[in-house]
Structure 1
């Protein structure tokens, strides 16, 4: 019988798949279309306003992520997720009842972003609490399929709702998805727990600062984890420019209506699903840090195709290629991080990794609008895409020198 990476019966992995799918559907029906579609199309926001919103959102995600790692290590990912997803559902339901204004939209984005930090860390830490090391590849692959499946379905659903009713209608819909994710997560308790911390190493005895810094120590004393952090930081650095300029690229370069923010995002989601499934079929021996660098190269190539012309048809092809790379890169990186992290500090290590990605996206927000004003939106995005691909190529050459010719994970 041929091997299938998908579980044959309902299980903890299946419940994790469903909860991740529901939570991500809530994000995808509302984030790009609801938040930034409202700001760009309904409020006429320019690159500086969008960058300001992105900066607020990213900074609050950073704060949430920094707080989430210790919380996960103390209470487990299930309770962390139930709290963050439940509060997210509440703020979405509340925002659906108020009138639009830029101030309220930014305040809503800040609150949501804080909870995103907890949600992302909780999901990224969940697999080793459910399965042993031999099951991490499949579990991360399944969760990635759920994430990127929502990137396909969510924007399409959001665009359809926006076309039939209004942009505002996506917010109560998202609240329902988040509430459903809480219910499924509540029915999926952890099956593995870390050993009790030795005396003097808890946050009360060792000090909270030491407890928080343990994640950094664990990350940077491992060559594999340190390389993964640096690959993520420098690879994602250029994507801060996309955050601040992408919706304007749709409006001013592609010249398409707001619904296309959803349609073309679905193309990257489809590529991500294909990439995640491909990752599950690859042998474990091929999933290395060097493979992650190659996957980032593909993301860079796809991004150049995406923003290289003014044709939405070509942009859709670029989105698919970009998604193919991301779909393989995300679960492979998460699997390697989980394998290299002791369970009692896994939440904090994941938090450090997430912080690297998020901080990398914050810095370009300070200068991308000025570059766009000087050179144009499209040239800045093309250069950002080239940078991402170049970082992947550079790490592909450097990794064997650091980890050895095989580029296999090691301490």
Structure 2
């Protein structure tokens, strides 16, 4: 009989893992359907590159709430029960999916509704991300945290593999179906979060909320390992984000339509899920810094291959490699950040990290949309991949502490 990984033997962690998986499936369904509908509606009256620009605007609509709320939410996550914050965020996601489902059933999906819901989903993610990231370390012993982080990644990546093709398939059934199914999945997520029992709260804050925000920023700024890991992801993904252009490639480059968009969107998550499964069973223990830089470089090169490809199988393969490389760097970055951050600051540091990650993803979509508008979609993707490789080389020179990091162990939770 195969024994479960150690974190899965903890009841509350199992509920947490299930909530992440269900929320990811639902969230990825919304991402792919909203992106496809925005591009499809725009292509009725616009050129390919002008419609691609609107995909970038969707990214901006999601980023602005994250930018405005992320640091404040980090303070809240260090002062309130993190379970309550996550539950409230999921409740908002249920409402967003239900509204779009209702509009689709009525046969009237205005472009403005897609942008408003994208912004509200950004609000939900601003609250959900830091609270969930800060909650996870409270559910497992410290020595199991790297393995739990890998399992967390499996839940996210597995959901990201299933969500896009499922969303595309359900959209082919009817435009309303993926939204309504997403609402049901978010409801199940809420139930899983309700199962988690109370966790230890950080010590009561002794400083003002503004001072708490500044403490989180200053901690990141003065910790070269944490700062280097967070900022490397920001700039590499900001430049190398090819996923924003997937509707363009599916419809106008590879000519595979919405049916091909699902597999394209799922391919990076498939590579990431395979990598996360390997890491969960055989965790990385040595040379963590060099491995992270190598994988970010591979991420950039795979982006270039995808950008130049006109073959659907080659594009899928490039995206699988891209996702696998990104997963390895995400695992290293997440472990370093959590293990180098004291528990009473994890909410704030997670919010700073989440802000950087969101900037890399959503602003990466904006950058891709702008570049596609002026350069064309294909040159924009290729140039972004080359930029990610250049960033990797610059950060390896600028952050030697991160480049030479051998193990995950850090000073977190030691007396300060």
TM-score where L is the length of structure 1: 0.89
Residues 172 and 248 (structure 1), Cα distance of their counterparts in 2 relative to 1, 3 Å cut:
same
Question: Kindly tell me: are residues 172 and 404 of structure 1, through their superposed partners in 2, closer, same or farther at Cα, counting changes over 3 Å?
Answer: closer
Gaps of 5+ in 2: 412-416
**Could you report, residue by residue, the CA deviation over 1:198-251 in whole angstroms, capped at 9, with x for unpaired residues?**
xx42xxxx3x321221210111121211111221222222145x3653322322
The residue number in structure 2 matching 1:328 is 328
* 1:118 equivalent in structure 2: 127
The DSSP-based 3-state class of the residue aligned with 2:228 is helix
Q: What's the counterpart of residue 389 of structure 1? A: 389
Q: Distance in 1 between matches of 2:265 and 2:56?
A: 19
How far does the alpha carbon of each residue in 1:325-379 deviate from its partner, in whole angstroms, 9 at most, with x for none? 1222223212211111111111110111111222344555666445434432111
Identify the range of structure 1 (298-307 vs 360-369) with the bigger mean alpha-carbon deviation: 360-369
Partner of 1:297 in structure 2? Answer: 297
| Cα offset, 1:122, TM superposition | 2.1
Partner of 2:35: 36
**Which whole-Å deviations, capped at 9, do the CAs of 1:239-292 have from their partners, x for residues lacking one?**
45x365332232221122112221222222211111112222444532633322
> For this pair of structures, how many residues does the alignment match?
400
1:59 aligns with 2:64: yes
Q: CA RMSD in A?
A: 2.4
In the alignment, what sits opposite 2:414?
none
Q: Is the 8 A contact 2:23 2:189 kept in 1?
A: yes
Write the distance in 1 (CA, Å) between the matches of 2:17 and 2:340. 23
Quote the Cα distance in structure 2 between the aligned partners of 1:367 and 1:25. 26
CA contact (8 A) 2:154 2:277 kept: yes
Residue 97 (structure 1) aligned with residue 102 (structure 2): yes
**1:304, CA displacement in angstroms?**
2.1
Q: Is 1:402 the counterpart of 2:411 in the alignment? A: no
Task: Find the counterpart in structure 2 of residue 168 from structure 1.
Answer: 176
The runs of 5 or more residues in structure 1 that have no matched partner are: none
Distance 2:372 2:288 in 1: 36
Secondary structure in structure 2 of the residue aligned to 1:386: helix
Cα deviation per residue 1:301-327 (whole Å; 9 max; x = unaligned)?
Answer: 222222221111111001110111122
1:112-135 residue CA offsets vs partner (Å, 9 max, x unmatched): 111112122222222211123211
